[in-house]
Structure 1
Amino acid sequence: MVPLVSAPVRKPSPLRRALRPLFTRDPAFLEPVIARFTLDGEWQRERVRMICRSFLTGYNAAATAEDLSEVHAAVRELPRYYRPFAYEGAGMGYGPWSYLHGRPLPEFERHIGSLTPDTVYQNHVGLGWWLGMVAPRRPRAIAACTELLDHRYRLLPFEGLGFRTGFLNSGAVARTAAFARYGEHGGHVCHQGFGRSLWFVHMGDVRQALATVESLDPGFHGDAVSGLGLGCAYSWLDAPERFAGVLDQVPAPLRADFLQGAAFGWEARQLADRPLFDELLGGADIGHRRRVLEAVRVVHEVRDDLVHRHVRHVFYQRWRHGTRDRVGQLIS
């Protein structure tokens, strides 16, 4: 097993350089995984494939980089719409990069944060993928790593860990039992990530995704539906005409959770590439534009209020809950 934390050295050794190819992943290895997904149509399947290719482009670029700045050149080869997915992959790629370069894993924010600050959420989610690979049964080691992260984002790796679990196992609910090992708050955020994975496992087939959510412990239904909303808003930013139809299929008691997740997805997209966000939103009808911009405003206001009150404990959960409490008015 790769050590969770490596002893720091100034330069990668020749031996560690030689190990780089062992950490790369051919995008084709996910094809059997995607083949098991029950997607609504072929264009959804192709979109999931493109997202996976983009994610692994960023991962491979970071894992094999001499200097992390090399990641930018690889990401620029992708269509602009998919580049944030690649930077999420780079967050995962920091794991092998830190090992090969002898850098402590908790230096993550120092290196990845300076590389791509506009995808801060995606970066931390990508780190969760790596932690799910190297330490899934070491909750104390994961907690020790995440506790050193910025308090606003230290729960986000659990979202990535939960997403990885659901995505690689085609949304198998039995796998979620392991989330309990990450504590109360980690467990809830893992379920949000699992719910987001269901969006990709069943993209467009909302009823099937919701049926899977229904089989979870009821205490996690809201988390999982939040993840569905996040995945929908983030991956279908360029399909605004489809959003209302998806929202209409969500049971009324869970629509605020769905919209909270969507609000976080839209805000992440806006931060990652504001010009592209404005361009794509400009093509939407006025009602959807108003809803999106109001949702993003709520995300910012809740965050700023927490910062103003110097809230540090489980910041991300309080951010989610505060946003959910205020987005209900945007559903109609």
Structure 2
Amino acid sequence: MTATLLGSLRKRLTTPDTSEIRFTTRGFDTASAPARAKLEHSALQFLLGYEFGIEQRGHEALVTRLEGLEREYQGFAYEGAAMALTIRDVLRPTGGNRLVETFLAGPDFTSGPGSRHIFMAYIGVGFALARLPRALWRRALPDARALADHPALNWLIMDGYGFHMAFFDHRTWVEGQHVGGPYPWPGPADYTRRVVDQGVGRGMWFTHGGDVERLLTTIEGFPPERRADLVSGAALAVTYAGGVEADQLEAFAKGTSAYRAEVGQGAVFALRARAVADLVTPHHEAAARLFCRRDAHAAAELAAAGVVDLRDEGRTPAYEVFRQRVMRHFA
């Protein structure tokens, strides 16, 4: 038995019921949407990962359970586990090594058992922030300098926050086009809202069940200055989570042709996350060819090259410098 009595109690008190991630419960109009079943299953894997993370005593037992899930969906499970570990960190009465940091960085701060899914783990931390009082955010944030990838990627935490809000409160954030903030986040307020919008765009792929036409119509209803970031996030989700056939990928590419660079950038981030985790499928290859004009691993390498000598440039955060480096390949 690797789950303790305390772990079982944490699970009972904090784990959402399975019904909470059902699209009908959330009120998504996806009855005939092409990707509904796949995306709903992805959300279920996230919830399983959360359950494992909230109750397991150690990382070894946690990873054993995560690796027992369906390979294609393991990124979502690791995302859920990172959310759980972050909440556990906040609840810990004492200091010491943070659970989410050691999960990602290991005891020697080079690579931990969850480092292959560091992109998704950052997003999971953002999910945790969405469930925590803002006064506790600073306590919940891992030290990005100690983790296995570039510190600038910690902006994906706010992307995860935006996804959570779009998914769990879509009437406010998607239909109501809510602008959040200010946030207790160590970055420029205006740019923080932009990254949150990228997460909202990613969440909209789920709230629309992969219905490309409805998704694009919804994005066009947002103010023009927000659309590029929404498209970037949506492209990441289309590529990473998928759930649709080639004709729908082509429809998305055609409908977002004005945002060619943002689509390529979102796809590259998704493909990098898949490649690092060794979870590339034929869908990802098809998306890479269509959105990036290269195979999945070559597209993923654009992200690897983009973090070399990465730093802030004046008032532009390093994360945005990273995005712009990738977008130049598709401009």
TM tier, shorter chain?
Answer: 0.7 to 0.9
Report how far residue 178 of structure 1 moved.
Answer: 1.7
List aligned pairs for 1:242-253, cutoff 5 A: 242-250=248-256, 252-253=257-258
- 2:326 aligns with one of 301, 312, 323: 323
Specify the alignment match of 2:114 in structure 1: 116
Q: Tell me the TM-score normalised to structure 2 length.
A: 0.80
Specify the alignment match of 2:301 in structure 1: 297
Distance 1:280 1:34, change over 3 A: farther
- 1:221 aligns with one of 227, 231, 240: 227
Q: Is contact 1:119-1:272 (8 Å) kept?
A: yes
Q: Is 1:164–2:159 an aligned residue pair?
A: no
Letter in 1 for 2:144: L
Q: Is contact 2:82-2:124 (8 Å) kept?
A: yes
Percent of matched pairs sharing the same residue: 23
> 1: distance between equivalents of 2:316 and 2:91?
33
List aligned pairs for 1:17-28, cutoff 5 A: 18-28=9-19
Give ranges in structure 2 of 5+ residues lacking alignment: 106-111, 146-150
Q: Is contact 2:289-2:295 (8 Å) kept?
A: yes
Letter in 2 for 1:45: R
Give ranges in structure 1 of 5+ residues lacking alignment: 1-11
Distance 1:291 1:55, change over 3 A: same
Q: Is contact 1:159-1:190 (8 Å) kept?
A: yes
Letter in 2 for 1:85: F
- 2:276 aligns with one of 267, 271, 277: 271
Letter in 2 for 1:163: F
Q: Tell me the TM-score normalised to structure 1 length.
A: 0.80
Q: Once the two structures are superposed, what CA deviation does each residue of 1:150-187 show, in whole Å capped at 9, x if it has no partner?
A: 32222111001000000112353436322444512221
Q: Is contact 2:34-2:243 (8 Å) kept?
A: no
Specify the alignment match of 1:258 in structure 2: 263
> 2: distance between equivalents of 1:91 and 1:286?
27
What is the alpha-carbon root mean square deviation over aligned residues? 3.4
Distance 1:209 1:103, change over 3 A: farther
Specify the alignment match of 1:3 in structure 2: none
Letter in 1 for 2:267: A
- 1:73 aligns with one of 64, 72, 75: 64
SS in 2 for 1:306: coil
Letter in 1 for 2:180: A
Report how far residue 27 of structure 1 moved.
Answer: 1.8
Q: Is contact 1:106-1:148 (8 Å) kept?
A: no
> 1: distance between equivalents of 2:316 and 2:56?
35
Distance 1:42 1:34, change over 3 A: farther
Give the total of aligned pairs. Answer: 309
Specify the alignment match of 2:39 in structure 1: 48
Q: Once the two structures are superposed, what CA deviation does each residue of 1:67-104 show, in whole Å capped at 9, x if it has no partner?
A: 13222232233211111110001111113322455455
Q: Which has more helix, going by share of residues? A: 1
Q: Is 1:29–2:20 an aligned residue pair?
A: yes
Deviating more after overlay: 48-57 vs 167-176: 167-176
Distance 1:50 1:105, change over 3 A: farther
Distance 1:104 1:192, change over 3 A: farther
SS in 1 for 2:12: helix
Report how far residue 311 of structure 1 moved.
Answer: 10
> 2: distance between equivalents of 1:79 and 1:15?
28
